[in-house]
Amino acid sequence: MDRANAGSGRGRTQTMKRALLAAVLVATLSAAGPALADLESALRDYEAGNFEAAYAEFKNLADGGEAVAMFHLGLMHENGEGTSLNYPRAADWYRRAAQRGNGDAQLRLGMLYEQGLGVPLDLPRAAQYFRDAAEQGVVAAQTRLGLAYRDGRGVLPDPAEARRWLDKAAATGDDEALQAVLDMDRAAQPENRDLVGVVPGLPPGADNSDQELGPELSLPAQQLRERLRSALQKAAPPGSALSYGALAITEESGRFLVRLDDVALTMRDAGRRFEIGTLRAVFTSVAPDLYRVTMTLPQLVTVHDAEGRESGRVAIGRQAFDGQWSSAELAFDTLDIAYHEVAFDLDNGAVSGRIGTFAYQSALTARGQGRVSGPATVILEDVRVVGENGASMASIAKASLATEVRDFNRAYFDDLNSRAALMGGVYEESEGQSPLSALPRDLGELLGAGSVDIELEGLTFRDTAAGGEVMLGSLSYGFAIADVDRSLATLSAHYAHDALDLRGPDVPSDLVPRQIAIRLGVDRIPLNQLVDLAGVMVQQSFVAEPGANPPEMDIAAALAAAKTVLRVDEASVAAGEAEAALNGTLQADAAAMTGAVGSFLLTTVGIDWLVGKLNAMTDDEDARQMAATLTVLQAMGRPEQDSSGRTVSVYDIQLDTQGRMLVNGNDMQPLMGMME
Q: What is the pLDDT of residues 336-360, one digit of tens each?
A: 999 988 888 888 888 888 899 999 9
Of 486 and 145, the structure prediction assigns the larger pLDDT to 145
Helix (H, G, I), strand (E, B) or coil at 174: coil
Q: Which region among 35-44, 101-110, 289-298, 629-638 has the lowest average model confidence (pLDDT)?
A: 35-44
pLDDT digits (tens, 9 = 90+) for 420-442: 554 444 333 334 444 444 444 56
In a domain, 657, yes or no: no
Exposure string of 68-93, with b = 16+ CB inside 10 Å and e = fewer, is bbbbbbbbbbbbebbbeebbbbbbbb
Q: Give the lowest-confidence range in 94-98, 250-254, 438-442, 506-510.
A: 438-442
Question: What pLDDT, on the 0 to 100 scale, is given for residue 154?
Answer: 83
pLDDT of residue 157: 81
Instruction: Collect all residues with Cβ–Cβ distance below 8 Å to 593 and sequence separation of at least 6.
Output: 657, 658, 659
> What pLDDT is recorded for position 450?
93
For position 673, what pLDDT does the model report? 58
| pTM attached to this predicted model | 0.67
DSSP per-residue letters across 195-258: --SEEE-PPTT---TTSPP-SPPPHHHHHHHHHHHHHHHT-SPTTEEEE-SEEEEEEETTEEEE
Residue type, 139: V
Q: How far is Cα 447 from Cα 410, in angstroms, rounded to an integer?
A: 9
Domain assignment present for 98: yes
52 assigned to some structural domain: yes
Q: How, if at all, do strands 310-315 and 300-304 pair?
A: antiparallel
Contact between 40 and 24 (Cβ < 8 Å): no
The helix or strand, by DSSP H or E, that contains position 180, with its residue range, turns out to be: helix 175-187
How would DSSP label each residue in 399-456? EEEEEEEEEEEHHHHHHHHHHHHHHTT--BTTTTB-GGGGS---GGGT-SEEEEEEEE
96 inside domain: yes
- Does residue 647 form part of some domain? no
Helix 551-562 to helix 527-542 angle (10° resolution) is 180
**Cβ atoms within 10 Å of 618's Cβ, excluding its own:** 8
Signed CA dihedral, 272, 273, 275, 279: sign only: positive
- Say which CATH number the domain at 36 has: 1.25.40.10
Q: Tell me if 589 is assigned to some domain.
A: no
Asked if residue 204 has pLDDT above 80, the reply is no
Cα–Cα dist 114/153, whole Å = 9
CA R_g for the chain: 31
Beta carbons of 385 and 343 less than 8 angstroms apart: no
Closest CA to 666 of 633, 639, 641, 640: 633
Task: Count structural domains, the chain.
Answer: 1
The answer as to whether 107 is a domain residue is yes
- What one-character-per-residue DSSP string does 551-571 give? HHHHHHHHHHHHT-EEEEEEE
Domain extent, residue 128, equals 3-187
Residue 662: the pLDDT is 92
Mean pLDDT value across residues 314-341: 90
pLDDT of 502: 87
Q: What angle do CA 393, 395, 398 make, to 5 degrees?
A: 160
Other CB atoms within 10 A of residue 125 CB: 22
Residue at 116 is within a domain: yes
pLDDT at 415 > cutoff 60? yes
